[in-house]
Amino acid sequence: MDEAFAEVTPRASIAAEAGRPGLLILRSFGKFFGLAGIRLGFALGASAEIDRLARWLGPWAVPGPAIETGIAALADRGWQDATRARLAADAARLTALLLTHGFADRGGTDLFRLVEHPQASVIWDRLGRAGILVRPFPDGPTLLRFGLPADEAGFARLAAALG
């Protein structure tokens, strides 16, 4: 199970089931913690599953500073709680903005929103020309995925580009 987004919504995690035979849960620090550059993650599972993964991957050196950064990130519950609250507020704000511009919300996480619009390809092109990158879906031509704008200026820029 890929739980790359589980830190955003811990109640959606199945980590408590990690000892079940055949279940291997993969976590990373790239999404929620914003630490993609250190290429750090971990696996949860029964020892047989962890041993099988280790054999499959082979030796995997992880630098000490990356490990220490991961330990510190997991231990900082105050930062995690504050970040979850900020992300939830920003996701709600993004959803509201997109709805006012005719998009239909199709879900996502507090890191991104999946929306639908009949003119998705035209909007994708217009946003790209404005330097705003959103993810299109070739198999779903009416769908776009919007990441959260980074700050107030990002929200304003998106609102202007959509207007």
Domains belonging to the chain, first-starting first, are: 10-75 (no CATH), 79-162 (3.90.1150.10)
Residues 6+ away with beta carbon under 8 Å from 98: 105, 113, 115, 146, 162
Q: How far apart are CA 8 and CA 146, in angstroms?
A: 16
* Mean pLDDT of all residues in 95-111: 95
Q: How far apart are CA 143 and CA 117, in angstroms?
A: 6
Q: Is the pLDDT of residue 45 over 90?
A: yes
- Which of the four pLDDT bands, split at 50, 70 and 90, describes residue 143? very high
| Radius of gyration for the alpha carbons in the chain, expressed in angstroms and rounded | 19
What percent of the chain has a predicted confidence (pLDDT) above 70? Answer: 100
- Amino acid 39: pLDDT: 85
| Dihedrals phi, psi of 15, to nearest 5 degrees | -55, -30
- Which of the four pLDDT bands, split at 50, 70 and 90, describes residue 119? very high
Q: What mean pLDDT, rounded, does the chain reach? A: 94
Q: Is the pLDDT of residue 2 over 90?
A: yes
| pTM for the model | 0.84
- Which of the four pLDDT bands, split at 50, 70 and 90, describes residue 37? confident
* Mean pLDDT of all residues in 49-61: 89
- Which of the four pLDDT bands, split at 50, 70 and 90, describes residue 153? very high
- Amino acid 110: pLDDT: 93
Q: How far is CA 135 from CA 16, 32, 39, 48, 68, in A?
A: 32, 19, 23, 38, 33
